[in-house]
């Protein structure tokens, strides 16, 4: 069976890698094969962070070109930049947050409008993950809101409960409540959007 | 402990581990007693984990000053009967190579495994080099895992192999193995030998020319024995799909081949070499003979391919062999599923559809940047101001390896020449004797300890004239904040003697040495001006803790200092954005200069009159 490929993109410090680890951990505990690529080192310093995570019959941690099933964008510009990896069926979940790179000022290249790029995309969901995370208790839980949104799509071979369990496996106990909260709000947000589409 | 408890789990448990974490588990299953390193991507996380757990599980772990020292410490430990592991990034082995070449001649007693983290595609490196060549260069056996499970299992194998043949073993991962996360099933832990005993044997361990002469023959003889071992090694496996086509591969490329089979819905035969040097010539011969056509796919150099061609030539086998030498496999950069699909399509003579290139142009790039609050930014800014004031014209900025290499970016443009660790000092001297230009070299504290000191001694002794700025941010920041000899604790988080850089530089004989705090722009500027007006060698130590470490400290203390722009005072001169260029600054849609409160780190440098002459940037405290 073809593996399910997820790409998570964002900016250093947004918790992209942790988000991937939690999804992978959930699959691992369900005895599902899962491989993930991480980026460390110089690239992290305020630069783009991108993680591929593949579920099912995958060997390498890099997804084939244009074969992403779910693109998870933690930031608008990085979501647009990663559209090149997607196809017309790719589900896209984007956090409505702008982090303007310094090059925008110095090189005078304007920050793009996402509407110009997602026309004709049938599976596009934009959510205000920062606001949702704040509602859950901390703006830092943006990444957990986003994986809640991914889980709610019901495309991955894992259930919401598996992800909640993985959150507990990966994060220290004192952060459990606020993050489980953030996760559930993420799930809820997508469920509402899906209901509105149908 | 805590976060890494999972690595200590029991036999049979399964966990979702990073390749580098799996390697630490492999050390536990190998009974390794001593581990050393100098941090470098993609190998650093091994040290990060060991730093947390080594003491509790009875492993001695150290961050050595450089890779050569790390290897020497490990070699002596292994010669004393303690299984020893040394790990580094690929270019680290260049530094350690002097010791590496000789350890092949002395051999080892207990297992000695040297891990090289190669970085195809150069995600975090200054070059792309295939360190498998070092195995052949030094007549040392080579092990290549493909994924985290193999990284762990093969490491256990490597230690047994090393001990059996009393040879050091080179263990080669790549970024996509070390930084791949996947399920790993645990094996049994092995007891650690904690205290060794060095049995003297000068004929073997002292490489006088006469001893080395004798050792050479033994090294070559042992290579023959290792060839036999490689022939029967379970790490060299054939995957038989009854195809007339055979692919020979190793490492991460194997994963992409398996993915490519699924993408193309085909299955060809595979010979996967996990013990790739010395290569199993007999096994390769049999494999070639059984097939009508062969493809060799690997990263980075045609290392295995060369040996496959040697086998065909020696045995007079007339089967077409394809790979990097004839362009069937891409030469530069890492492989990936699409590249391998392309190679296999060429092999099978089937149409290859290039995936459509949906590249979206004209998006603002997002290169890595110096963090908000980074003390290096203040130093770069001060240097720029002084060089402008003094009208120094075409200053040459030799740079070095660390976060501060990012000084290459506009508006600073303060990195002109960089080769390797420590090169800012030697090349600074070189430019000073070959040009009339002013020279300002930058080097970090950890890099200075690693390879900068011999260059400085050279500069003093040979009367080179330039300014060396040591950016002392009290850590090895870029690789994830490992300690270095300049800080008062070590890799096991025990108190340690701090090496005083200023005293060291003075002792070497530098006459102008000043330590400044880059957050104090006024005095930093004075020192740089003084130094640049002198005719000679000067050293400025720009000392201020890495902003990320300070942030972590502030969070613990619950302190919250931020700065904001007073719009009544701001004249929109743009100096803060265009010349100081902290990423916390942005222009809002009305064109007002703003500071992002989440990004602002509260360093306050932008509020100084040397950056904002209008006192428009004000402190906010919560």
Which CATH number fits the domain that encloses residue B379? 3.40.50.970
Task: Write down the ipTM of this complex.
Answer: 0.96
Mutate to test the interface with A, among B366, B369, B374 (most CBs of A within 10 A): B366
The answer to whether the Cβ–Cβ distance between B587 and A105 falls below 8 Å is: yes
Q: Which of B524, B546, B568 is the last residue of a domain?
A: B546
Please report residues of B whose CB lies closer than 8 A to that of A5.
Answer: none
Kindly list the residues from chain B whose CB atom is less than 8 angstroms away from the CB atom of residue A86: 358
| Closest residue in B to A55 (Cα–Cα) | B182
B269 and B397 fall within a common domain: no
Q: How far is A52 from chain B (nearest CA, A)?
A: 10
Rounded to an integer, what distance in angstroms lies between the CA atom of residue A82 and that of residue A80? 5
Shared domain check, B299 and B214: no
Q: Is the same domain home to B527 and B597?
A: no
Q: Which residues pair with B396 in a beta bridge?
A: B439
Hey, which residues 107-136 in chain A have their CB within 8 Å of chain B?
107, 109-112, 117
Contacts of A83 in chain B (CB under 8 A): 358, 360
Alpha-carbon distance of B425 to B470, in angstroms, equals 10
pLDDT of residue A196: 83
Whether residues B114 and B263 fall in one domain: no
Last residue of a domain, which of B216, B232, B248?
B232
pLDDT in tens, A72-121: 999 999 999 999 999 999 999 999 999 888 888 777 888 999 999 998 88
Q: Which of B337, B368, B411 sits opposite A45 (nearest CB)?
A: B368
Rg over CA atoms, chain B: 27
d(CA A84, CA A95): 18
Q: Which pLDDT score is estimated for A139? A: 87
- Do B279 and B379 lie in one domain? The reply is no
Q: Cβ contacts (< 8 Å) between B363 and chain A: which residues?
A: 77, 80-81, 109, 112
Shortest distance, CA B531 to any CA of chain A (angstroms): 31
What part of A 159-198 touches B (C-beta under 8 Å)? 172
Q: Compute the nearest-CA separation of B204 from chain A (Å).
A: 40
CATH number at residue B601: 3.30.70.20
Q: What is the pLDDT of residues B232-249, one digit of tens each?
A: 999 999 999 999 999 999
Task: For residue B264, give how far its alpha carbon lies from the nearest alpha carbon of chain A (Å).
Answer: 11
Contact flag A42-B370 (C-beta cutoff 8 Å): no
Nearest to B577 among A65, A84, A105 (CB): A105
Share of chain B above pLDDT 70, in %: 99
Which domain-ending residue is among B207, B232, B257? B232
Q: Which of A72, A38, A30, A84 is nearest to A55 (CA)?
A: A30
> Is the CB of B181 less than 8 angstroms away from the CB of A102?
no
The domain spanning residue B288 has which CATH number? 3.40.50.920
Which pLDDT score, from 0 to 100, does residue B271 have?
98
Specify the pLDDT at position B1.
43
Which parts of chain A have pLDDT scores under 50?
Answer: none
Given CB atoms, is A18 within the 8 Å cutoff of chain B? no
Q: Does residue B551 belong to any structural domain of this protein?
A: no
Inter-chain CB proximity B366 and A78 less than 8 Å: yes
Threshold 0.90, pTM exceeds: yes
Residues of chain A with Cβ-Cβ distance to B263 below 8 Å are: 64
User: Which among B179, B405, B587 has CB closest to A37?
Assistant: B179
How far CA B418 is from CA of A13, B217, B425, B541, in Å, comes to 28, 40, 10, 20
Q: How many domains does chain B have?
A: 4
Q: Do B123 and A28 touch (CB under 8 A)?
A: no
Gap from B181 CA to chain A (nearest CA, Å): 5
Give A2's contacts in chain B (Cβ within 8 Å).
262
Interface-testing mutation among A4, A14, A19, A41, with chain B (most B C-beta atoms within 10 A): A41
Contacts of B15 in chain A (CB under 8 A): 28
Per DSSP, the residues of B495-559 read: B-PPP-HHHHHHHHT-SEEEEE-TT-HHHHHHHHHHHHHSSS-EEEEEE---HHHHHHHHHHHT-
3-state secondary structure of B221: helix
The strand ranges marked E within chain A are 4-11, 34-37, 48-55, 70-73, 91-95, 124-127
Q: Which residues pair with B489 in a beta bridge?
A: B495
The domain A4-197 is classified under which CATH number: 3.40.640.10, 3.90.1300.10, 3.40.430.10, 3.40.920.10? 3.40.920.10
> Do residue B541 and residue B582 come from a single domain?
no
Q: Are residues B242 and B169 in the same domain?
A: no
Counting one residue from A and one from B, how many pairs have CB atoms under 8 Å apart?
A: 171
Residues B49 and B173 both lie in one domain: yes
Q: What's chain A's Rg over C-alpha atoms? A: 16
Question: B226 with B245, same domain?
Answer: no
B50, B162, B424, B505 from B540: Cα distances, Å: 34, 46, 14, 10
One domain for residues B539 and B573: no
The answer, for A42 touching chain B at a CB cutoff of 8 Å, is yes
A contacts of B181 (beta carbons < 8 Å): 20-21, 24, 35-38, 61
Chain A nearest C-alpha distance from B160 (Å): 27
| Residue B396 and residue B523 in one domain | yes
Interatomic CA distance for residues B604 and B519, integer angstroms: 8
Chain A residue with the nearest C-alpha to that of B251: A60
What pLDDT is stored for residue B602 in this prediction?
A: 93
Is A89 exposed, middle or buried, given 0-12, 13-18 or 19+ CB atoms closer than 10 A?
Answer: exposed
Is B480 in Cβ contact with A37 (below 8 Å)?
Answer: no
Residue B58 has φ and ψ, to the nearest 5°, of 85, 20
Q: Could you list the residue range(s) of the whole structural domain that residue B328 is in?
A: 236-348
Query: By the CB < 8 Å criterion, does A28 face chain B?
Result: yes
B613 in Cβ contact with B585 (< 8 Å): no
> Are A47 and B182 in contact (CB < 8 Å)?
no
Nearest to B123 among A3, A43, A105 (CB): A43
Q: Which residue ranges of chain B lie beneath pLDDT 50?
A: 1
Domain ranges (residues) in chain A = 4-197
Q: How far is B76 from chain A (nearest CA, A)?
A: 30
Instruction: Based on the fold, state whether residues B422 and B564 are members of the same structural domain.
Output: no
Distance of alpha carbon B297 from alpha carbon B317, whole angstroms? 20
User: Considering the domain boundaries, does residue B390 fall inside one?
Assistant: yes
- B10-65 residue pLDDT tens: 999 999 999 999 999 999 999 999 999 999 999 999 999 999 999 999 999 999 99
């Amino acid at each position: 069976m073809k593996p399910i490929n997820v790409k998570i993109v964002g900016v250093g410090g947004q918790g992209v890698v942790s988000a991937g680890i939690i999804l992978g951990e959930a699959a691992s505990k369900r005895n599902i094969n899962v491989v993930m690529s991480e980026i460390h080192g110089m690239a992290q310093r305020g630069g783009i962070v991108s993680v591929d995570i593949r579920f099912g019959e995958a060997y390498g941690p890099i997804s084939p070109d244009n074969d992403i099933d779910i693109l998870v964008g933690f930031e608008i510009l990085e979501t647009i930049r990663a559209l090149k990896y997607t196809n017309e069926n790719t589900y896209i979940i984007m956090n409505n947050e702008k982090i303007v790179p310094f090059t925008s000022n110095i090189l005078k290249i304007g920050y793009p409008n996402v509407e110009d790029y997602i026309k004709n995309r049938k599976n596009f969901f934009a959510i205000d993950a920062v606001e949702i995370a704040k509602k859950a208790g901390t703006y830092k839980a943006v990444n957990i809101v986003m994986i809640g949104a991914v889980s709610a799509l019901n495309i991955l071979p894992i259930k919401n409960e598996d992800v909640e369990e993985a959150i507990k496996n990966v994060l220290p106990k004192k952060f459990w409540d606020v993050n489980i909260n953030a996760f559930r709000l993420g799930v809820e947000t997508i469920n509402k959007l899906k209901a509105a589409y149908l | 402990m805590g976060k890494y408890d999972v690595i200590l789990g029991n036999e049979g448990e399964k966990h979702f581990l990073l390749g580098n974490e799996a390697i630490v588990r492999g050390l536990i299953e190998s009974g390794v007693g001593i581990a050393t390193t100098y941090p470098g991507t993609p190998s650093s996380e091994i040290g990060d984990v060991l730093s947390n757990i080594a003491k509790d599980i009875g492993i001695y772990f150290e961050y050595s000053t450089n890779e050569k020292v790390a290897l020497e410490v490990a070699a002596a430990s292994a010669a004393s009967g303690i299984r020893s592991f040394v790990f580094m990034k690929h270019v680290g082995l260049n530094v350690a190579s002097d010791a590496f070449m000789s350890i092949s001649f002395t051999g080892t007693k207990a297992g000695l495994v040297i891990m090289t983290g190669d970085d195809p595609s150069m995600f975090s490196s200054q070059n792309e080099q295939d360190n498998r060549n070092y195995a052949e260069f030094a007549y040392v056996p080579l092990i290549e895992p493909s994924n985290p499970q193999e990284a762990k299992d093969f490491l256990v194998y490597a230690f047994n192999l090393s001990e059996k043949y009393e040879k050091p073993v080179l263990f080669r991962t790549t970024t996509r193995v070390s930084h791949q996360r996947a399920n790993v099933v645990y094996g049994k832990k092995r007891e650690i030998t904690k205290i060794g005993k060095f049995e003297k044997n000068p004929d073997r361990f002292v490489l006088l020319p006469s001893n080395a002469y004798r050792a050479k023959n033994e090294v070559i003889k042992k290579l023959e024995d290792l060839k036999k071992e490689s022939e029967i090694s379970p790490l060299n496996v054939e995957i038989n799909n009854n195809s007339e086509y055979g692919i020979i591969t190793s490492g991460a490329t194997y994963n992409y081949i398996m993915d490519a089979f699924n993408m193309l819905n085909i299955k060809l035969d595979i010979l996967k070499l996990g013990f790739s040097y010395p290569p199993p010539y007999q096994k390769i011969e049999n494999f070639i003979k059984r097939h009508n056509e062969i493809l060799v796919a690997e990263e980075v150099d045609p290392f295995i391919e060369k040996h496959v061609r040697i086998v065909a030539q020696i045995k007079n086998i007339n089967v077409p062999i394809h790979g990097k030498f004839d362009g069937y496999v891409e030469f530069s950069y890492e492989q990936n599923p699409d590249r391998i699909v392309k190679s296999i399509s060429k092999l099978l003579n089937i149409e290859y559809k290039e995936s459509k290139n949906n590249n979206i142009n004209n998006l603002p790039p997002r290169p890595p940047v110096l963090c908000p609050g980074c003390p290096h930014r203040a130093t770069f800014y001060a240097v720029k101001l002084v060089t402008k004031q003094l009208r120094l014209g075409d200053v040459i900025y030799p740079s070095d390896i660390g976060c501060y290499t990012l000084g290459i970016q506009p508006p600073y443009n303060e990195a002109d020449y960089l080769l390797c660790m420590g090169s800012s000092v030697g090349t600074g001297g070189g430019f000073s004797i070959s040009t009339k230009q002013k020279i300002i070299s930058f080097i970090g504290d950890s890099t200075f300890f690693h390879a900068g000191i011999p260059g400085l001694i050279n500069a003093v002794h040979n009367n080179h004239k330039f300014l060396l700025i040591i950016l002392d941010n009290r850590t090895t920041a870029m690789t994830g904040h490992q300690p270095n000899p300049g800080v008062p604790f070590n890799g096991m988080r025990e108190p340690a003697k701090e090496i005083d850089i200023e005293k060291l530089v003075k002792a070497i004989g530098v006459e102008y040495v000043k330590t400044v705090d880059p957050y104090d722009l006024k005095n930093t500027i004075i020192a740089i001006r003084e130094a640049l007006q002198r005719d000679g060698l000067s050293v400025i130590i720009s000392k201020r803790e890495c902003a990320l470490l300070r942030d972590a400290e502030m969070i613990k203390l619950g302190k919250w200092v931020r700065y904001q722009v007073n719009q009544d005072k701001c004249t929109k001169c743009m100096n803060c954005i265009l010349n100081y260029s902290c990423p916390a600054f942005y222009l809002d849609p009305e064109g007002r200069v703003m500071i992002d409160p989440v990004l602002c780190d509260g360093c306050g440098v932008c509020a100084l009159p040397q950056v904002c002459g209008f006192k428009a940037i004000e402190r906010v405290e919560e």
